[in-house]
Amino acid sequence: MTDRERRQVGRPATIEAPRETILAHAASLFATMGYENTSLQDVARAVGISKAAVYHYFSTKQQIYDEIVVVMLQQLEAFVRERVEKAERSEDGIRAFMVAHATFMEENFTEFVTLLHGHGGTSRVRSPGEIAARDSYETVLRTMLQQAQDRGELNIDNVASASRAILSMLNWMSRWFRPDGERRAAEFAEDYFKLLYMGFKRR
């Protein structure tokens, strides 16, 4: 083994799509260990590069987190919008929203958990980009519910409350759902929809 091989410095371990690779590994670690319990050393080790290399692509740890969140929110909205627009009846639109949200969550599980439960505590500062992306996404559901009510197609007298209820059920899924379990996330979403659509009341 030559000295050059042993003390390799410079450009030995170039990986392709470094930013995306780093983000994916970071999301996985953030999701399981939590943001605060994940060091950039951990991230670097998972990717197979040095910590300094991580800093070559990102300037702070927070920036890595923010990028995961915003990218996920934007992809989520695009994914859901596409499926919602195909629906004709109001109830199909709502069902499509719930199923699409759950499906996306399952397909991007670690990033999604990072998005919702990455940090502990409530005082996290949300970046402007994150706030905008969140609002934009929630508006998709809210306008759908409002239209259904305005057209008299569904019985939704409290749109804000219904919207919150739907998102709450879906968001909390990321707390107990396990991708390696028997049932798909979409199935649980279907159950939730049926529940909300039919109601408890006996007829």
Partner DNA sequence: TTTATTACCGGCTAGCCGGTCAATAATTAA
Partner DNA sequence: TTAATTATTGACCGGCTAGCCGGTAATAAA
Binding site for a second copy (CB under 8 A): 30-38, 91, 94, 113, 117-124, 148, 152-156, 158, 161-162, 164-165, 167-169, 171-173, 175-176, 188, 191-192, 194-203
- CB contact at 8 A, 170 and 98: yes
Within 13 Å and on the Cβ side, how many CA atoms surround 112? 23
Strand segments, DSSP code E, in the chain are none
**Position 8 contacts DNA (CB under 7 A):** yes
Pick one of DNA, a second copy, none as the site partner of residue 56 (Cβ within 5 to 8 A by kind).
DNA
**Least Å distance between CB 20 and DNA?**
12
**Position 24 contacts DNA (CB under 7 A):** no
**Position 2 contacts DNA (CB under 7 A):** no
**Position 91 contacts DNA (CB under 7 A):** no
Pick one of DNA, a second copy, none as the site partner of residue 172 (Cβ within 5 to 8 A by kind).
a second copy
**Least Å distance between CB 1 and a second copy?**
39
Give Cα separations from 95 to 123, 137, 170, 197 (angstroms).
33, 16, 12, 9
Distance CA 151, CA 16 (A): 51
**Helix/strand/coil percent split, the chain, to 5:** 70, 0, 30
Number of H helices, E strands in the chain: 10, 0
Q: Which is nearer to a second copy, 119 or 184 (CB)?
A: 119
**Position 59 contacts DNA (CB under 7 A):** yes
The one among 1, 2, 52, 85 contacting DNA by CB under 7 A: 52
Distance CA 15, CA 65 (A): 21
Distance CA 48, CA 75 (A): 27
**Least Å distance between CB 44 and a second copy?**
19
For residue 166, count other CB atoms closer than 10 A to its CB.
Answer: 21
**Position 41 contacts DNA (CB under 7 A):** yes
Pick one of DNA, a second copy, none as the site partner of residue 10 (Cβ within 5 to 8 A by kind).
DNA
> Which residues are near DNA by CB under 7 A?
4, 7-15, 18, 38-42, 44, 49-53, 55-56, 59-62
